[in-house]
A = this chain, B = another copy of it.
């Protein structure tokens, strides 16, 4: 009988304040990195790492490694249901605690992700290029079509340099805030730096925010129209 029933296991996982904070932060549906979750929970990265391992082994989280970041999200809707039920009960008891404010809307709009463009803008670019046949998505491999090469060259990017690199030119990168794909790889990086050179966007030092200039606003919409 020392072997507790499984609901105790799960409840105990949620029952630690640090872990509860992390799970609460993940209820927005967005995936967050280990560092972000550590900050949310108010513990060091080491401690957070330990907690995240436990939550993952407990089946409450789904994780995805991307570059040197590790993104965590709730494993399933069931998990959110439990949290919601708990919050309902807690709220009914009047011990309500306000949640932390929403993320920076600027970050949501456009941000740097490994030197390429992510956020709303990144997705719009990806979608526009895909639907116009510039990018082709075959069997998990993303390639630039001939039409696409033409478009990119006209846009002012020299593809010969990129062709010679060993690193893949086109990669898909899953945008966790939007849960959609955007363009990574050397072409993704080249596009961002070129747009910066054109004065369309400005990268904010020490932040991941990419701000769009008024000139960039219209130029971008023209170059990458939503279909």
Majority secondary structure of chain A interface residues (helix, strand, loop or mixed): helix
Q: Are the C-beta atoms of A12 and B9 separated by less than 8 Å?
A: no
Q: Does A29 touch B at the CB level, under 8 Å?
A: no
**Cβ contact of A15, chosen from B8, B42, B59, B84, cutoff 8 A:** B8
A6–B21 CA distance with the chains assembled, in angstroms: 10
Contact A13/B15 with A24-B5, A76-B92, A89-B78 known, Cβ cut-off 8 Å: yes
State which residues 78-96 of A face B: CB under 8 Å: 78-79, 81-90, 92-93, 95-96
Q: Are the C-beta atoms of A88 and B78 separated by less than 8 Å?
A: yes
State which residues 1-60 of A face B: CB under 8 Å: 1-21, 24, 41-42, 59
Residues of B within 8 A of A92 (CB): 76, 78
Q: Are the C-beta atoms of A15 and B17 separated by less than 8 Å?
A: no
Q: Does A154 touch B at the CB level, under 8 Å?
A: no
Q: Are the C-beta atoms of B15 and A12 separated by less than 8 Å?
A: yes
Q: Specify how many copies of this chain sit in the oligomer.
A: 2
State which residues 98-136 of A face B: CB under 8 Å: 98-99
Q: Does A97 touch B at the CB level, under 8 Å?
A: yes
**Cβ contact of A7, chosen from B2, B5, B20, B81, cutoff 8 A:** B20
Identity of the chain B residue whose Cβ is nearest the Cβ of A95 in the assembled complex: B6
Residues of B within 8 A of A174 (CB): 78
Residues of B within 8 A of A99 (CB): 5
Residues of B within 8 A of A4 (CB): 16-18, 20-21
Of the listed residues A3, A84, A85, A88, the one surrounded by the most CB atoms of chain B closer than 10 A to its CB is A85
- Some 9 contacts from A to B, beta carbons below 8 A apart, are A2-B17, A4-B20, A5-B17, A5-B20, A7-B83, A9-B95, A12-B15, A78-B88, A79-B89
**6 pairs of A and B residues whose beta carbons are closest in the complex:** A4-B17, A12-B15, A1-B42, A8-B20, A11-B14, A15-B15
Chain A contact residues, CB within 8 Å of chain B: 1-21, 24, 41-42, 59, 76, 78-79, 81-90, 92-93, 95-99, 174
